[in-house]
């Protein structure tokens, strides 16, 4: 693959075992697993952003947590800068932590309420025994400035900050070690629209200045479209479609991506009235018991239009994993035609 | 549900065996010498040795334990060779002091303890939950502050203080209540239920003052939290009457921690409220246990310890079942 | 007063608005002082119409809905003004009278259906309960009504799902159940407070469709409270934009989106990334919303408004603008119409 890639994920898996109790009826059967992430592959170049989208339970957060090694993968490889970090332990894992950092959805929950913001931002450097030139405190003040906060915020506590400011603190902490990759897990979902824009702009500025790569996990497709270079759409633990941002949003080829895009409400009443909607029926199947064949087939708007024989194909055959060129769908071409008809 | 009860009963038996073994071991290792205590004033080493044989204490430890456990299943013989007597099932041994069957001693003491426990329990649950709920409904008002204040006084009053104070005022000074008598052990006795109530009223109050204080606090905190829940707002938005909102939707959701406390407290209390029984001279399990422990009467102490453990463990199971009845999310399939 | 709706062919009954809110204010006493959550709201609504109330957190949109629903009665909140609902004033109506309206004439849907449903009672029981409160019916009849309603909101095999608990339902199904509960007595007014915020986007689309469908069937009025301008654009007939407890702009949905008159609304629209916009820098609104403990004397938005200087003489900082309406489009701003038009076109 591309030599430029700072991050390459290959066939990544996370299976959570479902254990039966000692006396419960499940114990007789073989332990089943919830396949939260099931064979995910993508790559990310330096200074780029990969948007990871999908609905709750699709495995996007689990993927992010494996890349930052907050969760141990069940299988597959995570190559950061050419080295597989998926199995690191002890000292090596400790050293790796500098390279990948994380920003969380709820900045208040991820800050210790009894710790000043300055201490919180310095914590990763202290943990990694880094002594920046000019001293720790100066470096923290530099970081505060970089994220649009003031040096006098150093001694304040998290509760004195607004949601947007807290997220800035989270960002300052994440960039303090000059990581190559930052996994942003729903970083703006809890923020109001006007504040969300401030944080999105800040993330983009930091990327421009430092060349850091982002995994941007979000359910808000508008924000993802705005910030990402590449986008991967996940459904039930698998990537169903991935590609460059413009292509994917202009010409979605997987029926799930099409439905997802068509469900986003547009802040444009006239366009909203014109737009024909693809509506998905029913609910997400349980990841403990996913459908055979194509995982999307139980809700696919396309499958009903297919001849019997092709429907059977969707039910029995698992489609090839989504690559940059093709979505994980047996009938992607048809899907595109249907989508064109709808629009 | 049946599977759940069976499983819990199984673990209950295992736990009791463990508790009995530990208790047995502790008494063996302890400094008390029941043989010399049993042989009385004019003791010679020979007579102590005789007593040891009579009490079965000459046997190895594990043999003694096995004998004891066998008695729980079937009747057995107890005493020195030649002078054995039958100990009827369920055999918990014979008192070293009186040679009476321990099960008879317990059978005699238990009604007193039950009388104390049941009344106190009703009293403190009603007053604790009631006042706690009232405080929660009137949060921030003078009523709330008074109840919370009273609760913090109550929780810091030890039984000897309240007990003796109550005796002094109501029995010695005002002569409103009789001094507790041992002749009434049940509301079904010849003196009738009213005499039973009057007889036990003071110990009930003494216990209730102590216990209801923590019930008030737990109920209040949990109910305030519950009344702030979204589903309470939903219940109001449906147009339900305040009574329905408070009791059907609020109390049922906020009461679970109280159920846990109640279960634990019943278990502990049935093992004998030692201090209360002492102060009011009620010959219940606690009273009996203290006397037995002082005189080194191993079988009696042992039996009451195991009974107390049994009550606590059973209470645990009952709490779990009550939880399942209240909260469908913990219900087992 | 703002006439939100271009007058519809009115029968005699509907000559008086179905819901008419005037100068509604809500204050909460706290240890730090009086929090002015809602400050003089005026709006009206007809049957069959959908009004969107948009605003960011702390704008007072949820408090407005709770005041209308009478949920603030019995709390320390101070509610003043008037809210005439079919001729009855919801502000002064005592709790007992309000209770008879809740559920029967005014239904409400909340944000998080999992916490809004009681975890210990079956979904069906909770819906039937709402029916029994306002109808003299047997349990059996209530059950039948609830099962029918579950079917109407698109829950498959409603007879079985009736006896399941909320934790057995998915998020979308729970919100459907909430809708069934709110609509079982066929209220004339439905208040939905962020009904789809906790849901995934495909489920959100299903729920919005369902609400629109049921509203058309029953010709009820809908107040939709949301922070999402996209949702507003999709389902609302008219919009009310709230900031700092005040309505800063109101009007028909197309007016708000295509003839925006208030700098705050402009700022909101500009700060949103959209699916069909090309990327570039977003334009956030600078600063933070004002403290509701200590509102500025002048325009509440003036501290964050980039155009406050245009009005001249510091009038924005000193004088609170009145809500001025023109053809049913109201705005609370000192800038003149031409000034606003210039600003809008320059962006």
pLDDT in tens, chain A (343 residues): 445 789 999 999 999 887 654 444 444 444 578 889 989 999 999 999 999 999 888 899 999 999 999 999 999 999 998 889 888 888 888 989 889 999 988 877 888 888 899 999 999 999 988 888 888 888 999 899 999 888 888 888 888 888 888 899 999 999 999 999 999 999 988 888 888 898 999 999 999 999 999 999 998 898 999 999 999 999 999 999 999 998 899 888 899 999 999 898 888 889 888 887 888 887 788 888 888 889 998 888 888 888 888 888 888 888 888 887 788 888 877 766 665 555 4
Q: Do the Cβ atoms of C233 and A266 come within 8 Å?
A: yes
| Chain C residues near residue A58 by CB distance under 8 angstroms | none
Q: C-chain residues within 8 Å CB-CB of B326?
A: 120
Integer Cα distance of B272 and C212 in angstroms? 65
Question: In this model, does residue C291 exceed pLDDT 70?
Answer: yes
Cα B93 → chain centroid: 22
Residues of C in contact with A271 (CB under 8 A): 276
> What is the number of alpha carbons within 13 Å of residue A254 lying toward its C-beta?
31
How confident is residue C163, by pLDDT bands cut at 50, 70 and 90? very high
Provide the b/e sequence for C152-186 (b: ≥16 CB within 10 Å): bbbbeebeebbebbbeebbbbbbbbbbbbbbbbbb
> Does residue C22 carry a pLDDT above 50?
yes
CB contact under 8 A, A194 and C271: yes
The ipTM estimated for the assembled molecules is 0.86
* DSSP secondary structure letter of residue B144: H
Measured CA to CA, the distance from residue C188 to residue A148 in angstroms comes to 49
At C244, list the tokens.
């700092």
Nearest residue in chain A measured CA to CA from C279: A226
Q: What percentage of chain B exceeds 70 in pLDDT?
A: 93
Q: What is the pLDDT of residues B113-134, one digit of tens each?
A: 988 888 899 999 999 999 999 9
Please tell me what DSSP assigns to residue A158. G
Across the A/C interface, how many CB contacts are shorter than 8 Å? 124
Residues contacting A318, CB < 8 A, separation 6+: A293, A294
How far away is chain C from the Cα of B151, in angstroms, using its nearest Cα? 25
**Chain B residues within an 8 Å CB radius of C129:** 238, 240
Distances in Å between the Cα of A333 and the Cα atoms of A247, A253, A261, A328 are 15, 7, 18, 11
Interface contact flag, B328 C119, Cβ < 8 Å? yes
Cβ-nearest to A55 among C202, C254, C288: C202
- Nearest Cα neighbor of A290 from A42, A26, A59, A51 is A59
User: C272: which chain A residues are within 8 Å (Cβ-Cβ)?
Assistant: 193, 197, 222, 267
Q: Please tell me the pTM assigned to this model.
A: 0.85
Between B279 and A3, residue with greater pLDDT: B279
CA atoms of A118 and A156, how far apart (whole Å): 8
Letter string b/e over residues B64-81, b meaning 16 or more CB atoms within 10 A of that residue's CB: bbebbeebeeeebebbee
Element holding A100 (H helix, E strand): strand A100-103
Cα C78 versus chain centre, distance: 20
Q: Which two tokens stand for residue C196?
A: 């789809």
- The nearest CA of chain C is from the CA of B272 a distance in Å of 35
Residue C233 token pair: 């654009």
Asked if pLDDT for residue B5 goes beyond 80, the answer is no
Q: Judge contact between C129 and B238, C-beta under 8 A.
A: yes
Q: What is the nearest CA distance from A223 to chain C, expressed in angstroms? A: 6
Write the Ramachandran bin of C313: left for phi over 0, alpha for psi from -120 to 50, otherwise beta.
Answer: left
Most confident segment among A86-90, B19-23, B54-58, B224-228 = B224-228
């Amino acid at each position: 693959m591309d030599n430029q890639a700072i991050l390459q994920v290959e066939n990544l898996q996370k299976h959570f075992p479902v254990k039966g109790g000692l006396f419960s009826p499940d114990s007789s059967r073989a332990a089943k697993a919830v396949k939260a992430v099931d064979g995910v592959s993508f790559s990310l170049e330096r200074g780029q952003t990969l948007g990871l989208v999908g609905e709750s339970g699709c495995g996007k957060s689990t993927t992010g947590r494996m890349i930052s090694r907050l969760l141990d993968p069940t299988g597959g490889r995570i190559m950061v800068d050419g080295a597989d970090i998926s199995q690191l332990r002890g000292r090596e894992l400790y050293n790796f932590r500098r390279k990948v950092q994380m920003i969380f959805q709820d900045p208040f929950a991820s800050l210790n309420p009894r710790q000043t913001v300055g201490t919180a931002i310095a914590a990763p450097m202290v943990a990694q025994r880094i002594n920046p030139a000019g001293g720790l405190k100066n470096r923290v003040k530099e970081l505060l400035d970089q994220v649009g906060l003031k040096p006098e915020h150093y001694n304040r506590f998290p509760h004195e900050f607004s949601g947007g400011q807290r997220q800035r603190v989270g960002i300052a902490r994440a960039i303090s070690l000059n990581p190559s990759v930052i996994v942003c897990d729903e970083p703006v979902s809890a923020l109001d629209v006007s504040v969300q824009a401030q944080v999105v702009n800040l993330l983009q500025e930091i990327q421009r200045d430092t060349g850091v790569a982002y995994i941007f996990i979000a359910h808000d497709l508008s924000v993802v479209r705005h910030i990402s270079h590449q986008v991967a759409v996940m459904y039930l633990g698998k990537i169903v479609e991935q590609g460059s941002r413009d292509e994917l949003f202009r010409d979605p080829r997987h029926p799930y991506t099409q439905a997802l895009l068509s469900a986003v409400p547009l802040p444009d009443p006239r366009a909203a009235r014109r737009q024909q909607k693809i509506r998905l029926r029913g609910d997400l199947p349980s990841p403990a018991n996913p459908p055979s064949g194509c995982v999307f087939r139980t809700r696919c708007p396309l499958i009903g239009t297919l001849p019997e024989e092709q429907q059977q194909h969707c039910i029995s055959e698992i489609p090839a994993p989504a690559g940059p060129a093709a979505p994980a769908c047996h009938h992607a071409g048809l899907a595109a035609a249907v989508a064109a008809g709808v629009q | 549900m049946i599977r759940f009860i069976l499983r819990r009963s199984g673990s209950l038996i295992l736990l009791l065996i463990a508790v009995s073994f530990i208790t047995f071991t502790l008494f063996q290792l302890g400094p008390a010498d029941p043989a010399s205590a049993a042989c009385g004033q004019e003791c010679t080493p020979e007579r102590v040795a005789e007593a040891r044989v009579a009490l079965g204490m000459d046997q190895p430890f594990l043999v003694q334990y096995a004998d004891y456990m066998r008695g729980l299943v079937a009747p057995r013989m107890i005493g020195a060779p030649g002078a054995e007597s039958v100990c009827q099932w369920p055999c918990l041994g014979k008192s070293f002091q009186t040679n009476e069957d321990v099960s008879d001693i317990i059978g005699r003491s238990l009604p007193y303890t039950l009388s104390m426990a049941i009344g106190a329990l009703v009293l403190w649950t009603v007053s604790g939950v009631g006042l706690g709920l009232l405080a929660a409904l009137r949060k921030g008002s003078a009523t709330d502050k008074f109840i919370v204040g009273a609760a913090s006084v109550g929780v810091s009053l030890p039984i000897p203080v309240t007990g003796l104070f109550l005796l002094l005022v109501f029995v010695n000074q005002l002569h409103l209540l009789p001094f507790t008598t041992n002749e009434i052990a049940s509301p079904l006795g010849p003196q009738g239920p009213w005499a039973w109530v009057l007889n036990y009223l003071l110990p009930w109050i003494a216990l209730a003052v102590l216990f209801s204080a923590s019930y008030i606090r737990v109920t209040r905190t949990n109910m305030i939290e519950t009344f702030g829940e979204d589903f309470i707002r939903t219940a109001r938005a449906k147009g339900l009457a305040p009574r329905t909102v408070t009791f059907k939707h609020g109390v049922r959701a906020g009461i679970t921690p109280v159920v846990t406390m109640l279960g634990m407290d019943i278990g502990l209390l049935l093992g004998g409220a030692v201090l209360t029984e002492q102060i009011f001279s009620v010959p219940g399990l606690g009273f009996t246990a203290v006397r037995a422990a002082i005189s080194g009467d191993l079988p009696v102490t042992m039996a009451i310890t195991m009974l107390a453990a049994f009550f606590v463990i059973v209470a645990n199971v009952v709490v779990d079942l009550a939880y399942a009845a209240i909260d469908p999310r913990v219900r087992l399939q | 007063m703002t006439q939100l709706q271009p007058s519809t062919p009115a029968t005699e009954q509907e000559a008086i608005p179905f819901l008419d809110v005037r100068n509604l204010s809500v204050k909460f006493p706290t240890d730090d002082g009086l929090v002015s959550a809602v400050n003089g709201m005026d709006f009206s609504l007809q049957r069959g119409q959908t009004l969107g109330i948009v605003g960011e957190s702390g704008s007072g949109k949820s408090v407005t809905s709770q005041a209308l629903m009478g949920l603030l009665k019995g709390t320390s909140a101070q509610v003043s003004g008037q809210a005439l609902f079919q001729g009855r004033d919801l502000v002064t109506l005592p709790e007992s009278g309000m209770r008879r309206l809740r559920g029967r004439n005014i239904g409400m849907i909340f944000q998080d259906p999992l916490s809004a449903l009681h975890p210990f009672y079956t979904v069906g029981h909770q819906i039937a309960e709402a029916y029994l409160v306002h109808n003299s019916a047997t349990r059996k009849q209530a059950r039948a009504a609830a099962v029918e309603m579950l079917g109407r909101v698109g829950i498959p095999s409603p007879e079985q799902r009736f006896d399941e608990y909320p934790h057995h339902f998915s998020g979308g199904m729970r919100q459907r159940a909430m809708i069934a509960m709110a609509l079982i007595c066929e209220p004339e007014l439905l208040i939905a407070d962020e009904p789809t915020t906790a849901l995934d986007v495909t489920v959100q689309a299903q729920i919005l469709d369902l609400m629109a469908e049921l509203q058309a069937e029953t010709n009820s009025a809908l107040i939709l409270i949301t922070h999402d301008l996209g949702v507003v654009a999709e389902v609302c007939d008219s919009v009310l934009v709230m900031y700092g407890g005040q309505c800063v702009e109101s009007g028909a949905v197309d007016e708000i989106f295509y003839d925006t008159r208030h700098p705050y609304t402009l700022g909101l629209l500009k700060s949103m990334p959209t699916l069909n916009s090309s990327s570039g820098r977003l334009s956030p609104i600078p600063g933070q919303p004002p403290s509701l403990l200590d509102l500025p004397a002048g325009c509440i938005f003036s501290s964050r408004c980039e155009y406050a200087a245009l009005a001249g003489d510091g009038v924005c900082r000193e004088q609170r603008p009145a809500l001025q309406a023109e053809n049913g489009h109201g705005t609370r701003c000192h800038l003149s119409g031409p000034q606003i038009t210039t600003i809008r076109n320059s962006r």
